[in-house]
Amino acid sequence: MSEASGRRVYRYARTRVEAAAKLASALKSVQESNPLPPERETVATYLASWLDVSAKPTVRPMTYISYEAIVRRHLVPELGRIRLSRLAPGDVQAMMNRKLAQGLSARRVDYLRAVLRRALNDAMRFGLVSRNVAALVRPPRGPRYEISPLGPDEVRRLLSEVCDDRLGALYVVALTLGLRQGEVLGLQWADVDLVSGRLQVRHALQRFEGEYHLVEPKSARSRRTLVLPVAATAALERHRRQQQEERARAGEMWQEHGLVFTTPIGRPLDSTGVTGALQRHLVRAGLRRQRFHDLRHACASLLLSRGVSPRVVMEMLGHSQISLTMDTYSHVLPSLLSDAADQMDNLLRDDQPMPGSAPTAARLATLPQEESHAD
């Protein structure tokens, strides 16, 4: 076929199906006035361009660093020499099988596939390929991480343990609002209104290239305004007074960043150190080991078990989809379903007639004589 310039372009394929796919892709490019995709472009050259042109401007810095490492360490060594137009589902599957054999976890291998799938989605959008072969490959099966968050009594024990810690308010906020660790550490006083009892999630703290940075939250829904429980408000008020005292003691050594949770001289907190401190508190409280992220799970599980709507929990956590909330906290569903059955039983009991229904015999017996013979 020919481009608009009149130059004849050739495409080669091993099968009729492959030839038809290439023809469809080329025709689409011509119809949309896009240049025809180069036949000999390799996966390596495309991924290098994709990282620079598509990924870097649209994702958070730490996400870009992760993508770049995936491309450099895994995708290019395994698939880089293959022509982009000839990349097949079998190539992706073989790459995933090799990575599993090398000892990578199923979750990690699926992340490799996810990065490649995102890159090929953009290639489809640019008219460089006619299908996303990574999307045609099934994710590897692996053990699912079963969350086991703290229960109500355990949460009370942990809060009692941290109440005298200089960062006790950090754990209270994490447990009562379900913030991600980066969101808690990136919280600024400008985001907190203790008078109205509101807190805005506008940033997350990340460390890369040797420095701390405030970055955009994980997704658009992660930017949210939350109502502070009384316990969180009281903890933050105490924390602010304590921080003011620390600022006065530090004098010229104080480094002002406007952050709510800092070191004693105002510097941002290191996430590893915060997690290590949490582990020590758990041990002293006689509780099992938990990741910092499990505090978020505890918040959501407690709210759901108390009958808070999953939609409300979704908004609190900043999840992008309700399905993510329900899939993550499926362990709470049995009790919710049991409660729903109990509510239905209560609704249909003989002494609790449904709205609009005819009075039952028990109800009729309590009505005035003339009403009971109304018909």
> Residue 116 maps to which CATH number?
1.10.150.130
* Alpha-carbon span 67 to 338, nearest angstrom: 43
Residue 28 is assigned to a structural domain of this protein: yes
**Residues 278 and 166 occupy one common structural domain:** yes
Last residue of a domain, one of 78, 102, 136: 136
90 CB neighbour count, 10 Å cutoff: 11
Backbone angles phi, psi at 225, to 5 degrees: -115, 130
**Residues 117 and 167 occupy one common structural domain:** no
* Alpha-carbon span 158 to 289, nearest angstrom: 12
Query: pLDDT for 102-149, tens place per residue?
Result: 999 999 999 999 999 999 999 988 888 889 999 999 999 877 667 788
Residue 182 is assigned to a structural domain of this protein: yes
**Residues 125 and 166 occupy one common structural domain:** no
Higher pLDDT, 254 or 352: 254
- Residue pair 299/312 in contact (Cβ under 8 Å)? The answer is no
Query: pLDDT for 111-123, tens place per residue?
Result: 999 999 999 999 9
Q: Which domain holds residue 42?
A: 16-136
CA atoms within 13 A on the CB side of 231: 15
What is the structure's pLDDT at 264? Answer: 96
**Residues 84 and 113 occupy one common structural domain:** yes
What is the structure's pLDDT at 119? Answer: 96
Last residue of a domain, one of 108, 136, 164: 136
Residue 87 is assigned to a structural domain of this protein: yes
Residue 142 is assigned to a structural domain of this protein: no
What is the structure's pLDDT at 364? Answer: 38
Residue 84 is assigned to a structural domain of this protein: yes
Residue 355 is assigned to a structural domain of this protein: yes
* Two tokens, residue 145: 């991480």
**Residues 274 and 218 occupy one common structural domain:** yes
Domain count for the chain? 3
- Mean pLDDT over the full length of the chain: 84
Residue 8 is which amino acid? R
**Residues 184 and 305 occupy one common structural domain:** yes
pTM over 0.85: no
**Residues 281 and 182 occupy one common structural domain:** yes
**Residues 313 and 348 occupy one common structural domain:** no
pLDDT of 30 strictly over 90? no
**Residues 234 and 119 occupy one common structural domain:** no
* Alpha-carbon span 83 to 68, nearest angstrom: 20
**Residues 183 and 231 occupy one common structural domain:** yes
Residue 164 is assigned to a structural domain of this protein: yes
Of 217, 179, 197, the closest CA to residue 298 belongs to 179
Residue 7 is assigned to a structural domain of this protein: no
- pLDDT band, very low/low/confident/very high, at 43 (cuts 50, 70, 90): very high
CATH number reported for the structural domain that contains residue 184 in this entry: 1.10.443.10
**Residues 23 and 169 occupy one common structural domain:** no
Q: 280-283, long-range: CB within 8 Å, 24+ apart, which pairs?
A: 281/158, 281/161, 281/162, 281/165, 281/171, 282/158
Last residue of a domain, one of 103, 136, 169: 136
Of 290, 17, 269, 333, the closest CA to residue 147 belongs to 290
**Residues 116 and 159 occupy one common structural domain:** no
